[in-house]
């Protein structure tokens, strides 16, 4: 048993979609959510910059006594997870584009993967895509989408507009992988745009549920789950 909080970080609000998933899987845990809004977006930065920023986020969370860290950011994970794991003395759970489940459902059907420019250039990402080389997959790096969502999160019309711009000429696709945690906030607008989602409609994939399950497995294995009767709290930095 360990009642210390779990730290979660992202360049901004994207990771809140991961936080929500983690809280539903682990309702008794306390979380500290760090949004590095000052340095957002990460997606157009160099790998060195992203590594330095991710390390600074991890250090801030460690100084708050976290027992595990979730890098709720595909960009930070693809650039920095391996390097961070070498020095951290708490487990680090990362976010990866959900290609595997998409492969299982849409292997021969046209699938789009949206991610940041930085993610699309990383060796980790390129190797992951190669693993599923026989899939009908197109990568669509997005230069400004995370910043746009960060700015327009509460504005349904703006979210609808950008969704239409991205998918206007892609209505024939069967699968969409949201490879950036910010993009998960587009889900309801993508569903609205395509009309039918899931079976018989477009399938939308993200890595959030997988990361939350992994966090639970890691805490369970190391006997570090929180033990409290009330629901856990969240602190935002
Ligand atoms: N939310 C992030 C991701 O999952 C980063 C977006 C950005 O800052 O460009 O990649």
What are the pocket residues of ligand 1 if the criterion is a CB atom closer than 6 Å to any ligand atom? 10-11, 14, 40-43, 73-75, 116, 119, 146, 180-182
Confidence of residue 124 (pLDDT cuts 50, 70, 90): very high
Tokens of 53: 């920023």
Active site residue 180: yes
Distance 178 CA to ligand 1 centre (A): 11
Ligand 1, closest atom to CA 95?
4
In this prediction the pTM is 0.96
Return the bridge partners of 54, or none. Answer: none
Indicate the SS3 state at residue 151.
Answer: helix
Which residues make Cβ contacts (< 8 Å) with residue 74, sequence separation at least 6?
A: 95, 96, 97, 115, 116, 119, 179, 180, 181, 207
- Measure the CA–CA gap between 193 and 182, rounded to whole angstroms: 18
State the burial class of residue 159 (Cβ atoms within 10 Å of its Cβ: 0-12, 13-18, 19+): buried
- Kindly report, residue by residue over 95-111, the tens digit of the pLDDT: 999 999 999 998 889 99
**Residue 73 annotated as catalytic:** yes
C-alpha span between 136 and 126 (Å, rounded):
15
Sign of CA dihedral 73, 79, 81, 85: negative
pLDDT in tens, 154-171: 999 999 999 999 999 999
pLDDT at 63: 98
Delineate the domains of the chain, giving CATH numbers in brackets: 6-95+208-236 (3.40.50.1860), 99-206 (3.40.50.1860)
Beta bridge partners of 140: 114
In ligand 1, the atom with minimum distance to the C-alpha of 42 is: 8
| Calpha distance 70→200 (Å, rounded) | 34
């Amino acid at each position: 048993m360990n009642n210390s909080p779990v730290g979660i970080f992202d360049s901004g609000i994207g990771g809140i979609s991961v936080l929500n998933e983690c809280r539903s899987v682990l309702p008794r845990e306390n979380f500290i959510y760090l949004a590095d809004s000052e340095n957002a977006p990460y997606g157009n930065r160099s790998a060195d910059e992203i590594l330095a920023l991710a390390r600074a986020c991890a250090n801030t969370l460690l100084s708050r006594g976290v027992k595990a860290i979730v890098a709720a950011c595909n960009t930070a994970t693809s650039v920095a997870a391996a390097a961070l794991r070498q020095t951290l003395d708490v487990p680090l759970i990362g976010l990866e584009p959900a290609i595997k489940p998409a492969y299982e459902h849409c292997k021969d059907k046209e699938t789009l993967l949206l991610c940041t420019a930085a993610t699309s250039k990383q060796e980790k990402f390129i190797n992951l895509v190669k693993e599923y080389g026989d899939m009908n997959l197109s990568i669509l790096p997005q230069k400004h989408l995370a910043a746009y969502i960060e700015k327009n999160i509460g504005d349904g019309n703006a979210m609808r507009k950008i969704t239409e711009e991205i998918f206007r000429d892609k209505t024939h696709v069967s699968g969409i992988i949201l490879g950036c945690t910010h993009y998960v906030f587009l889900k309801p607008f993508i569903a609205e745009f395509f009309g039918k989602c899931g079976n018989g409609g477009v399938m939308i994939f993200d890595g959030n549920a997988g990361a939350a399950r992994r966090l639970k497995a890691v805490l369970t294995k190391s006997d570090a789950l929180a033990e409290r009767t009330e629901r856990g709290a969240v602190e935002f930095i």
